[in-house]
Amino acid sequence: MASTELLAAEMEAFYRHYIDIFNGDDLTGFAALFSYPWGVVSGKRGMSVINDEAGFVRVFQKMKAGLKERGWARSAIDMMRAWPTGDDTGLLMADYSRHRKDGSVLERGRTCYTLRREAGAWKIVSMLEVSEPHLGPGDLPR
């Protein structure tokens, strides 16, 4: 049984890797960071489920193209916190910012990620938007 601190550090390292891959153009590599099927929950759209890597690549090609059209150049982690819920599962919450090429902030957000270890690697099972003014788990300030 791994310690809570070690599991949280592993989950946070996974998320840093996730952002690095997100900032690149390797959608196949990015798709490998998810456990299928996986879902996104938001108050506006409800639950969206993506069943496989091919569907993921199609959806994220459109999403990344839309970000680039709005001036996006990269995303950054502003804060993150991980809560292991078992040796192979956990919840991670992150504040992120999306930046333009000139470094200015395009937008900020907060998302909760449900993670699970699959074949020895952490993967995202679901994502949940935390909209303002709500703080999400732990009531951590934004």
Copy the structure tokens of residue 97.
Answer: 């910012």
Domain count, the chain: 1
Range of the domain at 55: 4-131
Instruction: Note the residue count of the chain.
Output: 142
For residue 70, tell me if it sits in a domain: yes
So what's the pLDDT on residue 42? 79
For residue 126, tell me if it sits in a domain: yes
Q: Determine the 3-state secondary structure of 136 from DSSP.
A: coil
In which band, very low, low, confident or very high, does the pLDDT at 46 lie, cut at 50, 70 and 90?
confident
| 1 pLDDT more than 70 | no
For residue 136, tell me if it sits in a domain: no
Find the helix or strand (DSSP H, E) in which 73 lies.
strand 72-86
Nearest CA-CA partner of 20 in 28, 10, 34, 30: 30
For residue 139, tell me if it sits in a domain: no
Domain CATH code at residue 35: 3.10.450.50
So what's the pLDDT on residue 7? 96
In which band, very low, low, confident or very high, does the pLDDT at 44 lie, cut at 50, 70 and 90?
confident
